Chain A
Amino acid sequence: MLWTALYLPQLPLDCHAQTDAQAPFAIVEKRRIHMANAAARAAGVRADLPLSAALALEPALQSHEREPLLEKAALEALSLWALQYTSAVSLAAPYGLLLETGGSARLFGGLEALLQQITDGLAAQGHSALLASAPTPAGALMLARSGYAEHVTTLPELRHRLPVLPVEALQSAQAYSATFESLGARSVADLLALPRDGMKRRFGDFLLDEIDRAFGHVPDPLRPVTLPAAFSTTLPLPAPAESSTTIIYASGRGLRQLEGFLRAGKHAVDRIELTLHHERQSRHDSPDNVTPLTLHLMQPSADARRFILLLTEHLNRHTLKRRVERITIAAPQLLRADEITHSLLLEEEDAAKSMRDLLERVHARLGPEAVRQLQVKAEHRPERASGDTALLNTSHKPAAAIKKPKEPLPPPVFGPRPAWFIDPPLPLDAIGPNPIYEGKLDLQEPPEHIESGWWDSKPIQREYFVARTEEGRLLWIFRDERRENRWFLQGYFS
């Protein structure tokens, strides 16, 4: 068994879907700052500062009263999302989640790849977490809580590792920090040095029990999270918003949770219900001032990108009459993925699998270098602007490598480029100053001047032209100013 602890120390802050990380934002408890984001901290806003003092430091500070229920809901939502990575997920309140990753790591291409997916998934939802793994759940939590992003796989190693952690690593130590300080106990090893029965009398069973569970001396039964029959989540916005960008961003978070939830239970949906809760403008407004919005999918899906695309399309055509302060996302009816014929969910998985199988066969027969993936390189010299890498080396999972870039492709920065490239370039004949290729060539003016690489051994200084042959073929040719203005053929605009 290997347990991975997800420790989310910033949960009170992160459970508010913030669009703009640059905007100073803080959570307030009893008129004092409880937690501030990076932008607020940069302005000098610290925990425990009275709100009035914080506002004096940063007048633009947005603040929100701490809502423990909201934090709990966010943690629960994350636990459902995490079920897509393993079937054993447990809550470790207040800020932790435990995932049994030893069994499922193989399915995701190894522990490292799995942890990367989890980290990326959390980041996409706006959560920052510390991940640590250990053979015991309590041990993993201790590592994560003390800020060690370590992945200890054996019990002896863990037992060696735990004593050096500070006492704060223990959840049950939080209440006794003053006592520990007076005892001079700073590390877990200091606690272990104390007599057990004395500790038991003084701190009750909990502390010793937590230590024993962490070290693997006693079993640690966890209550696993189970999938509820339907999905519903509420996303509060840090400040009422009317821009569709903010609403899409915040909803995206909920829709990603929905994706995790669906994938965990091998479900899909063809209908999602979003409710935009509007701000109350006066006391007389009814509290349920909402805009219901239903997303219909032609094919059942579990793909958050499709949900977000659909929502974006809709909201972009719409102006909101009122500002939104909360969004609820619900999937009232779940469809079983195995009952859906030709669902996109299965199709995508099938596609990835059949591609993987195909590549495996091709590589097995033709060698690991046979399939290569094109790459644009940031270089002005045409010879170095393109490359290809063996698909087998770019990623452990070949099919995953054929991913669409997240951003749309940038427009070509330079002039036209040919699909077929000739390297080294072929010298062309010329009559006087005019290059020849199967007869006279028409050159497109103005040429593209490429001069680069003066800093290394292969400088170039060339005038590139698109040239048309008498037959209508299009060539990419250049006049080499470093080689007596001779002409060369560099490619075909096939």
Chain B
Amino acid sequence: MGQALAFSDDPEETVYESSAGARLDATPLDRTPTGAASLESIPGLWRGDTLARVELESLPTGYDALNAQLPGGGWPLGALTEILNDRCGIGELRLFFPALAALSRQAGAPPVILLQPPYTPYAPAFAGAGIAPEQVLLLRTPRPEDALWACEQCLKYAPRCALFAWPQKLKPQDLRRLQLAVERRPVLAVLMREARAAQQSSAAALRIALKPGADGRQLHLSILKRRGALIARPVIVEPPSPLFFLPDHHEEPVHALDRPVPAATAA
């Protein structure tokens, strides 16, 4: 979060600093003005179609379309987020790069912890995305059963940070335990899990299944669970991409015949 500033042109000039981490109030989904006005006048009535007005801190995702669908307006802090995906390389991590780059610019440089990642994290990629490599901590546990312990420790005790974990097997009670550990902590906790985990119930506050767009640029996010009403349509975002020149799959060549016919000129 940048420190937005404003100043007045008083003779005695004054600079104000914005408070970092200002809470973003949850936004209603589709506030259709028709017929709902009478309901809104009733105090204390919670409407099912609004996102939960949770007093949650969040980390803006960097995608407006996604922020609008998340309670708190960003990746939740102090709650588990599950990313369900089997296809490595569709942008499952790039999805978080805008938020992590913003985190990297914050005072105190909160660390980004990678717990048991499936491959070796490559420092130039993080640096290129604006995430200071010094901030990225790689945590590997020699025994797999230690991973869960380490995950819980980080969620419970780490200062403001982002944790990405690739847990091998998670039972529902493990998830509950982790969710309990992270509650009210200023921690972004992302569990990267395989797609079939969607069948399993989960204590995570946010569950998102990923599907790649065929062009390799877009990512389709199906929000399976969030604090608030469900949405059926996937949210489409475009994470930072290494593709610059590759044309889209479905871009058909424009044939001469398809072009609009120039208006015939009167002879």
Contact = CB atoms under 8 A, between A and B. Distances in A.
A419 to B, nearest CB: 4
A298 B15 contact: no
Interface stretch (B36-44, B56-64, B66-74, B153-161): B153-161
B229 interface: no
Nearest to B130: A409
Interface in A107-140: none
A313 B18 CA distance: 12
A370 interface: yes
B146 A404 contact: no
A23 interface: no
Contacts of B134: 373-375, 401-405
A439 interface: no
Interface in A439-493: 442-446, 466, 468-469, 471-476, 491-493
Interface in B10-52: 12-20
B242 A294 contact: no
A298 B6 CA distance: 12
Contact of B216 (A372, A377, A472): A472
A421 B121 contact: yes
Interface string B135-158: 111111110001001100110011
A309 interface: yes
A355 interface: yes
A494 B93 contact: yes
Contacts of B142: 366-367, 370
A309 B91 contact: no
A371 interface: yes
Given A421-B120, A473-B89, A296 B150 contact: no
Interface in B92-145: 92-94, 104, 107-111, 117-128, 130, 132-142
Interface stretch (A39-47, A162-170, A184-192, A385-393): A385-393
Given A317-B7, A491-B119, A402 B89 contact: no
A351 B160 contact: yes
Nearest to B135: A402
B124 A376 contact: yes
A494 to B, nearest CB: 4
Given A305-B107, A365-B149, A411-B128, A472 B14 contact: no
Contact of A402 (B137, B138, B212, B243): B137
A340 to B, nearest CB: 14
A493 B5 contact: no
B256 interface: no
B90 to A, nearest CB: 5
Contact of A419 (B125, B138, B146, B214): B125
A373 B137 contact: yes
Contact of A362 (B119, B120, B153, B213): B153
B87 interface: yes
Contact of A298 (B19, B94, B136): B19
Nearest to A394: B134
Contact of B153 (A291, A298, A361): A361
Interface stretch (B198-206, B244-252, B257-265): B244-252
B119 A422 contact: yes
A474 B15 contact: no
Contacts of B150: 362, 366, 370
A206 interface: no
B120 A422 contact: yes
Given A442-B249, A473-B90, A298 B141 contact: no
B216 A474 contact: yes
A352 B108 CA distance: 9
A366 B146 CA distance: 8
Contacts of B92: 494
A494 B17 contact: no
B5 A366 contact: no
B88 interface: yes
Interface size class on chain A is 35 or more
B215 interface: yes
B2 to A, nearest CB: 10
A471 B87 CA distance: 8
Given A386-B124, A416-B128, A294 B13 contact: yes
B122 A298 contact: no
B120 A423 contact: yes
A466 B243 contact: yes
Which of B14, B132, B216 has most A Cβ within 10 Å?
B216
Contacts of A403: 109, 134
Contacts of A371: 137-139
B137 A372 contact: yes
Given A299-B19, A354-B159, A365-B149, A494 B13 contact: no
Nearest to A356: B159
B227 to A, nearest CB: 25
Interface string B77-93: 00000000001111111
A422 B216 CA distance: 20
Contacts of A373: 133-134, 136-138
Which of B17, B153, B160 has most A Cβ within 10 Å?
B17
Which of A344, A471, A475 has most B Cβ within 10 Å?
A471
Nearest to A473: B89
Nearest to A443: B246
B168 interface: no
A418 B123 contact: no
Contacts of B246: 442-445, 466, 468
B14 to A, nearest CB: 5
B109 A355 contact: no
Nearest to A422: B119
A325 B150 CA distance: 56
A470 B213 CA distance: 10
A472 B212 contact: yes
Interface string A260-292: 000000000000000000000000000000011
Interface of A: 291-299, 303, 305-306, 309-311, 313-314, 317-318, 344, 347-348, 350-352, 354-355, 357-358, 361-362, 365-367, 370-377, 385-388, 391, 401-405, 409-412, 414-423, 442-446, 466, 468-469, 471-476, 491-494
Q: Ordered nearest first, which 10 A-B pairs have the shortest CB separation? A: A472-B212, A416-B242, A351-B159, A420-B119, A492-B89, A412-B128, A473-B89, A421-B122, A404-B109, A386-B123
26 contacts: A298-B17, A354-B157, A354-B158, A371-B138, A372-B139, A374-B123, A374-B134, A376-B127, A386-B120, A402-B111, A402-B134, A405-B134, A409-B132, A410-B127, A417-B124, A419-B93, A419-B125, A420-B119, A420-B120, A422-B120, A444-B242, A444-B243, A471-B212, A472-B216, A474-B216, A491-B122
Given A418-B125, A419-B121, 12 more contacts: A292-B12, A296-B17, A305-B107, A373-B134, A375-B123, A386-B120, A404-B104, A419-B122, A442-B249, A444-B246, A472-B87, A493-B94
